[in-house]
Amino acid sequence: MTAGTLLHASKLPLTIWFWAAYLMATHSNGISALQLQKQLGIGWCWSAWLLAHKLRSAMLDPERNPLTGLVEVDEASLPSRIRNDPPASRRGRSHDGKMFIIRALELGDGNTPGRLRLAELSSYGAVEIEQILEIATDFDATIKTDGWPGYASLPYDQHEVHVVGDTPAHLIFPWIHQIYSYLKGWAYGVYHGLKSKHLQAYLDEFVLRFNRRRTRHAAFRLLFSLAINAEPKTCNMLIKLKPSV
């Protein structure tokens, strides 16, 4: 039944997988490996982390539809967690102690937030930003940005530029900045900060729950369906170091 899926060769009972998927998909604030271990009675915290990270690796739906309509896009950074505490990073676009991300938010009727996309960036360069937005947004979408030069190569007919100037960015893009505050609070409140090696997996987890925040049981069904259809992943595949750029 589980051969060839994400659950392949797992020594944990199927009920544990069900409960872990349910908790990770429906818990309002997310759940750490230590909490999973305690709630599910798993003997070793490492086993709980591996279980959670396997599920996390399947949270990106390969058949997801691109964002449509008006899409707010903005770049940002998160402090990188080290063995002790995150370093005191510099303001602006300094690389010191920071992990770069790009945020794209679909705005629905009444300028309300719709679906979200989050992706890790190696830099704020135009080529990488264009490649990500080409996949994340529909060809007919209108992309609204703050005029950062990294967006200059986007097609003109898709790109609505709002130059922030002296105006605080949160007044130009209120929803996307509010969601960013949620993301930072979640990263520190649940996981005490994120490491760059696993950043994208945690971003995918945040997106899955945010996009299905009004239908959490649907989020559970989707996550378990994705896990059943995902290819097996070994421990080494999940913990391997990112290749140097």
Answer yes or no: is 99 within a domain.
Answer: no
In this structure, are 124 and 173 located in the same domain?
yes
How far apart CA 25 and CA 40 sit, in angstroms, is 15
Answer yes or no: is 145 within a domain.
Answer: yes
Q: Do 222 and 212 touch, CB atoms closer than 8 A?
A: yes
Domain of 153? 70-81+104-183
- pTM (whole model) above 0.85: yes
In this structure, are 74 and 174 located in the same domain?
yes
For 67, which DSSP code?
Answer: B
In this structure, are 176 and 138 located in the same domain?
yes
Q: What is the pLDDT of residues 165-193, one digit of tens each?
A: 667 777 778 899 999 999 999 999 999 88
Q: What is the pLDDT of residues 190-204, one digit of tens each?
A: 998 898 889 999 999
In this structure, are 131 and 145 located in the same domain?
yes
pLDDT at 160: 80
In this structure, are 56 and 38 located in the same domain?
yes
In this structure, are 30 and 77 located in the same domain?
no
For all residues of the chain together, what is the average pLDDT?
A: 85
Answer yes or no: is 9 within a domain.
Answer: no
How far apart CA 181 and CA 196 sit, in angstroms, is 19
For residue 83, pLDDT beyond 50: yes
Give the domain-ending residue among 140, 158, 183: 183
Q: State which H helix or E strand residue 118 sits in.
A: strand 113-121
Name the band, by pLDDT with cuts 50, 70 and 90, for residue 109. Answer: confident
In this structure, are 77 and 166 located in the same domain?
yes
For residue 245, pLDDT beyond 50: no
Overall domain count for the chain: 2
pLDDT at 85: 47
Answer yes or no: is 212 within a domain.
Answer: yes
Q: Give φ, ψ of 182 to 5 degrees.
A: -60, -45
Q: Do 76 and 180 touch, CB atoms closer than 8 A?
A: yes
For residue 5, pLDDT beyond 90: no
- CA-nearest of 196, 207, 202 to 121 is 196
In this structure, are 160 and 224 located in the same domain?
no
In this structure, are 175 and 144 located in the same domain?
yes
114-140 b/e (C-beta count within 10 Å ≥ 16 → b): bbbbbbbbeebeeebbeebbeebbeee
For residue 90, pLDDT beyond 70: no
